[in-house]
Amino acid sequence: MKVFSSSTVSLEFDEIKKVLRQVWTGFSTSAQFREGIDETVKFVKANDVKYLISDTSGQKPVGPEDTKYAASVMPSLFGSGIKAMAFIMPKNVITKLALSSFAKEQGLPANVMYFDNIPEAEKWLFTF
């Protein structure tokens, strides 16, 4: 079920699996990117979401301040019931490097992982 949509991100919720999927496409302005992040947090806080998949495979790079903004909401997501989060790696090499750099800087916990496709991500998510 689609719960939010803009020109650069859509949020889809699987009520059975309790998975919220962000699907990012193209270039997002800072405002568009943060709106997608804020809508994700709002939905997670208001619903029984256990897993989050952020599909960045079609996303273009975002700025470092926006990357930090996304990182700043992770404690709120996990505090609202998220058990695990999976990122689908972008096809864009620059975006992939930025995401890898983000992971190293954040020292991500064991319940956050990067994958090349959604089936691998879901298989891993459901171990939590």
Per DSSP (E only), the strands in the chain are: 2-5, 9-14, 19-26, 51-59, 84-88, 112-115
Which range of residues forms the domain containing residue 20? 2-125
| 11 contacts: CB under 8 Å, gap ≥ 6 | 2, 3, 4, 5, 20, 21, 22, 23, 36, 39, 40, 43
CATH number of the domain that residue 30 is part of: 3.30.750.24
* Dist CA 83 CA 69 (whole Å): 20
Residues 61-96 have pLDDT tens digits of 888 899 889 989 989 999 999 999 999 988 767 666
Domain count, the chain: 1
* Dist CA 92 CA 59 (whole Å): 7
Residues 103-118 have pLDDT tens digits of 556 566 789 888 999 9
